[in-house]
Amino acid sequence: MTKRSPFRYLKTSPEIIHLAVMLYVRFPLSLRNVEDLLHERGIEVSHETVRFWWNRFGPMFASEIRRSRLSRMRSYSNWQWHLDEVFVKINGETHYLWRAVDHEGEVLESYVTKRRDRKAALKFLRKSMKRYGQPQIVVTDKLRSYGAAMKVIGNAGRQETGRWLNNRAENSHLPL
């Protein structure tokens, strides 16, 4: 079964739609500014059309960018994950927010549990590895649940722990 093009009922070419959406997303431009830039290039579209394209095709373009970025990161020889958990209160109850951050500070995965044990760490690691593959190095704090979960998984990369090694994950959940 062939996959249908998402651009199939539109009169405008996919290249113009991609250009308009990327101009709007990549640079701090308003919809009317994008309309003006396209008009200078001889393309007549309204700002509402650009907004429609952004709503319809923006998530698709974002997933393509994310997918290509991850394929580049997997080929990176020292792809590191920084894992950390933080206490959060949800409706007055304490929960744990598990987070995986790559070596560039991009949040890969988040997971909320009621417990902070091997079972929760194992589920979080399996969920992350299913989506992103195995990292070369896993940097954690000294929580023993990570080590127990990594033993169950087996060949999941080298685990490193240290006092200042996991700052990238710690800084990723600071309030702005």
Q: What is the tens place of the pLDDT at every residue in 3-13?
A: 788 888 888 89
CA 49, 55, 57, 58 dihedral sign is: positive
- If asked whether residues 114 and 133 sit together in one domain, one would say yes
- If asked whether residues 113 and 63 sit together in one domain, one would say no
- If asked whether residues 120 and 139 sit together in one domain, one would say yes
- If asked whether residues 23 and 44 sit together in one domain, one would say yes
**Measuring CA to CA, how many Å separate 114 from each of 94, 117, 143?**
7, 10, 16
- If asked whether residues 39 and 60 sit together in one domain, one would say yes
% of the chain exceeding 70 in pLDDT = 85
Instruction: Locate 140 and state its tokens.
Output: 């954690």
Q: How would you classify the pairing of strands 80-90 and 93-102?
A: antiparallel
Per-residue pLDDT, averaged over 71-78, amounts to: 65
Residue 156 scores a pLDDT above 70: no
- If asked whether residues 86 and 164 sit together in one domain, one would say yes
The pLDDT of residue 176 is 43
Share in percent of the chain as helix, strand, coil (round to 5): 45, 20, 30
- If asked whether residues 156 and 95 sit together in one domain, one would say yes
DSSP code, position 138: E
> From its phi and psi, is residue 24 left (phi > 0), alpha (psi between -120 and 50) or beta?
alpha
Task: Give the domain CATH number at 109.
Answer: 3.30.420.10
DSSP code, position 5: P
The pLDDT of residue 35 is 95
Q: Quick: pLDDT tens for 85-129.
A: 888 999 999 999 999 888 777 788 899 999 999 999 999 999 988
- If asked whether residues 118 and 160 sit together in one domain, one would say yes
- If asked whether residues 106 and 48 sit together in one domain, one would say no
Domain count, the chain: 2
The pLDDT of residue 18 is 92
Asked if residue 57 belongs to a domain, the reply is yes
Q: What is the residue-wise DSSP string for 63-126?
A: HHHHHHHHHHHHHSTT-EEEEEEEEEEETTEEEEEEEEEETTS-EEEEEEES--SHHHHHHHHH
Asked if residue 90 belongs to a domain, the reply is yes
Which of 52, 75, 98 is the last residue before a domain boundary? 75
Asked if residue 39 belongs to a domain, the reply is yes
- If asked whether residues 130 and 86 sit together in one domain, one would say yes
- If asked whether residues 112 and 157 sit together in one domain, one would say yes
- If asked whether residues 51 and 134 sit together in one domain, one would say no
Q: With contact defined as beta carbons under 8 Å apart, do 141 and 116 qualify?
A: no
Kindly report which listed range (39-43, 62-66, 110-114) carries the lowest average pLDDT score. Answer: 62-66
Residue 58 scores a pLDDT above 70: yes
Residue 104 phi/psi, 5° resolution? -100, 0
Kindly report which listed range (32-41, 55-64, 158-167) carries the lowest average pLDDT score. Answer: 158-167
| Domain of 69, in residue numbers | 14-75
Asked if residue 1 belongs to a domain, the reply is no
The pLDDT of residue 42 is 94
Which of 31, 55, 75 is the last residue before a domain boundary? 75
Which of 29, 57, 75 is the last residue before a domain boundary? 75
Prediction pTM value: 0.61
The pLDDT of residue 15 is 93
Instruction: Kindly report the length of the chain.
Output: 176
Mean pLDDT score of the chain, rounded to an integer? 84
Asked if residue 151 belongs to a domain, the reply is yes
Kindly report which listed range (13-22, 27-36, 138-147, 151-160) carries the lowest average pLDDT score. Answer: 151-160
The pLDDT of residue 8 is 83
